[in-house]
A and B are shown apart, each in its own frame.
Chain A
Amino acid sequence: MRINSKLALAASAALLVSAGAVAQSKGGPAEQTVKIAFIDPQSGLMGPVGSNILRSYQFIAEMANKEQWSKGVKFEIVAFDNKLSPQESLNALKLAIDQDIRYVVQGNGSSVALALVDAIAKNNERNPGKEVLFLNYAAVDPDLTNSKCSFWHFRFDANSDMKMEAMTSYIANQKDVKNVYLINQDYAFGHQVRRAAREYLARKRPDVKIVGDDLHPLARVTDFSPYVAKMKAASADTIITGNWGSDLSLLIKAAKDAGLDANFYTYYATTTGVPTAMGSSGVGRVHYVGYWNMNGNPYDKTALGEKIFLDFKKRFNEDYYTLATYNVLRTLAAAINKAKSQDPARVAFAMEGLKYESINGEVEMRAADHQFQQPLWITSWQKAGGKGVKFDSENTGYGWRTEELLPAYVAAQPTSCEMKRPAKAG
């Protein structure tokens, strides 16, 4: 009820603001509103993750507007619930385009991202002058910036292969990793994770055995205990998983219930519900690899990341964990400034090669494939308050300690993208 009334408020606020913008634009050189469609799940098992990130975007947009990141531009997030379905996302995209929204952000599910990339490329080809730009903040299927790269798509998360490269390099030095069990969601991203894990482990730790390899339906499993029983039977000491949201929190809950004492190497153990599911049980054994950790971040000299985290927690009593929401809006604002225009076609060109100092270090939107270049963190779950763990997650008393920090140039990977660029408008 709370969430729904908030959504309703946001929606009516959006309506008011857009009405205001129209009125003002008749009146003279007033503030321009750049509307951004947020197409992600706000219902179902992944609803809590989507809703947390929606609030993160709204929070950062408020900050951008107050600090005038782009002079005279007001960012407005318009939420569409895609129920995690590619089909629903295409309907949402159509609705957004009908409302004259020219920027789309999405991240939960590479299956959705792949559908959006196709639909947006077609739309832009058919409607010159009315292009739509896709800012992908978390869909990490490597294909999106390689074989299926598109000029209209920009990715702000590190892709799955980059993360797996970092994770396996770290695992290479962990002597307690002997029997690895892979469990992933049965869709584009999960398939990429298991492929990369097998390939890279064979290269870096040929002695490690893969004792199991499961794919399960995305966001539909409520009881992972059969899978955990299987892990036990295979005497797995290490689980590698790309699971996120409920698929990770319920997996860890089942592992805890059955008393499975294994290392977990994850991508998304920061997402809503996972820290709570772990509590004191995963100490020292659960790891994540990602593009930011608040505990142990030498790049954030002004402690801006901490301030965002604390203000967000004060307002919503939730963790702010998707730093990409900051990087997306910051990059967009900088590109609008550089292009001196809010037209997506011009902004897209301006975004290519854009470089700046962000909360998570020196970052760059690589022009060749539109893959954001940024450092990668490898962390472990530890008691908060001690050395290196200043902040806890989800009020559990435990948080993430940085184990290794890879600078952007180490985390970088080559690309096979052959970008087709449109003719630059005059």
Chain B
Amino acid sequence: MTVELALISLLNGISYGLLLFMLASGLTLIFSMMGVLNFAHASFYMLGAYFGYQLSQWIGFWPALVIAPFAVGTLGALVERWGLRRVHKWGHVPELLFTFGLSFIIVEIVQVIWGRPPVPNRLPAELEGPLFTIFSTNFPLSRAFIMMVAVLMLLGLWLVVTRTRIGLVIQAALSNPQQVEALGHNVPRVFMMVFGAGSALAALAGVIGGAVYVTEPAMASTAGAIIFVVIVVGGMGSLSGAFLASLLIGLIASFATVIDSTLLDGLSALGLSITPDTPLYSVWTLKLSQVAPVLPFLLLVLVLIVRPKGLLGTRED
């Protein structure tokens, strides 16, 4: 592998990983606060993409970048206030089923409003074009933009949670909700805000991801599968774990695609001879680049077997 290929793959992997993190951070935030595994989280990501697209048509991309996450966040808060909170008293399974059902409803609504094919969602002209050139490959401005927004978001999130009064209340409500309530804080309202903020983060990822990649009704289910992998691998409820896992999966996806080695190469290096007559020959000759889409899920299974609490998870059982 040349230096150029390695560098560009590294950058591609990091920018994809950071986008994944924007998506996963909201989910993991909600899980750590409320213990709710929000199956509709990726649907809020999709809503962000569609809201962003629609608002860009009306008022331009930059206002949309701010307003769309805000609108989706409000929607998320309403869902928590009028839906999830009512289901809460029946326990976690009904909550999970509620968000599961919600994800189907959102997909159908999106299809009714915007149709089944992808919408022509594009970044504004000022974000098109290359930012810099590595040897002979251009690194697109759009990818750098993803990275910048994600890093700013991570920084903001960290500041809010650790350095502000509201962040302290959130942290306290997480471990000792009754005590916090006894001190006069409105814990259900805190939950509502957290749920809204988590949805808004997903929507922010959606506004950018939808424009850089593709905005279509299947994006929620595609993204849903992968962020599930991220939060399990990172450790349920761990923000830093989600960050690590996002980058890991981004890098795996980007490097695996560019490596053409097969198991055959590895086995021959070990001195085993494999011929077309060997059983499972087609498996040994699969290129790594061909199995790249499966690798994140393979990682998920491996982590669950070897370290069920995830990379940075704290769960003890």
Contacts and interface: CB of A to CB of B under 8 A. Distances in A.
A joins B in a complex: yes
Interface of A: 1-4, 42-45, 47-48, 51, 81, 186, 214-215, 217, 220, 222-223, 225-227, 229-230, 232-233, 246, 250, 257-260
Contacts of A217: 293
B101 interface: no
A214 B291 CA distance: 12
B87 to A, nearest CB: 31
Interface in B86-131: 111-118, 130
Contact of B117 (A47, A186, A227): A47
B290 interface: yes
A259 B5 contact: no
Contact of A229 (B113, B130, B258): B258
B114 A225 contact: no
Interface stretch (B134-142, B188-196, B200-208, B265-273): B134-142
Contact of B113 (A1, A225, A246): A1
A4 B112 contact: yes
B112 A47 contact: no
Contact of A230 (B218, B253, B257): B257
B214 A226 contact: no
Given A3-B115, A42-B117, A229-B137, A222 B257 contact: no
Contacts of A81: 116
Interface string B7-21: 011001000100000
A186 B116 CA distance: 24
Given A225-B12, A258-B140, A45 B216 contact: yes
B137 A259 contact: yes
B214 A4 contact: no
B4 interface: yes
Q: Which of A226, A233, A260 has the most CB of B within 10 A?
A: A226
B2 interface: yes
A2 B115 contact: yes
A198 B216 CA distance: 35
B133 interface: yes
B113 to A, nearest CB: 6
Q: Which of A42, A81, A222 has the most CB of B within 10 A?
A: A222
A222 B130 contact: no
A259 B114 contact: no
A4 B216 CA distance: 14
B8 A229 contact: yes
A217 B12 CA distance: 19
A51 B139 CA distance: 34
Contacts of A214: 289
B1 to A, nearest CB: 7
Nearest to B138: A259
Given A226-B254, A226-B257, A233-B5, A246 B115 contact: no
Contacts of B214: 45, 222, 246, 250
A233 B117 contact: no
A244 B73 CA distance: 37
Interface residues of B, number: 37
B217 interface: yes
B62 interface: no
Contacts, number: 92
B281 interface: no
B158 interface: no
B213 interface: yes
A44 B137 contact: no
Nearest to A230: B258
A227 B257 contact: yes
B117 A229 contact: no
Contact of A233 (B4, B111, B116, B222): B4
Contacts of A233: 1-2, 4-5, 258
Nearest to A47: B117
A2 B120 CA distance: 14
Given A227-B257, A257-B140, A257-B142, 9 more contacts: A1-B112, A43-B111, A45-B216, A48-B117, A220-B293, A229-B5, A230-B258, A258-B138, A259-B136
Nearest to B219: A222
B116 A45 contact: no
Given A81-B116, A229-B5, A222 B213 contact: yes
B118 A47 contact: yes
Contact of B9 (A44, A226, A260): A226
Contacts of B2: 233
A79 B214 CA distance: 25
A149 B140 CA distance: 47
A257 B293 contact: no
A121 to B, nearest CB: 29
A246 B219 CA distance: 14
A45 B116 CA distance: 9
B258 A226 contact: yes
A133 B8 CA distance: 51
B118 A229 contact: no
A232 B7 CA distance: 12
A20 B15 CA distance: 58
A215 B288 CA distance: 11
Nearest to A228: B137
Contact of A4 (B115, B222, B254): B115
Contacts of B112: 1, 4
B174 to A, nearest CB: 35
A198 B111 CA distance: 42
Nearest to B253: A226
A186 B137 contact: no
A88 to B, nearest CB: 13
5 contacts: A42-B117, A220-B293, A223-B213, A226-B258, A246-B118
B57 to A, nearest CB: 13
Given A214-B289, A232-B137, A44 B16 contact: no
A229 B6 CA distance: 9
B289 A43 contact: no
Q: Which of A2, A4, A227 has the most CB of B within 10 A?
A: A4
A54 to B, nearest CB: 11
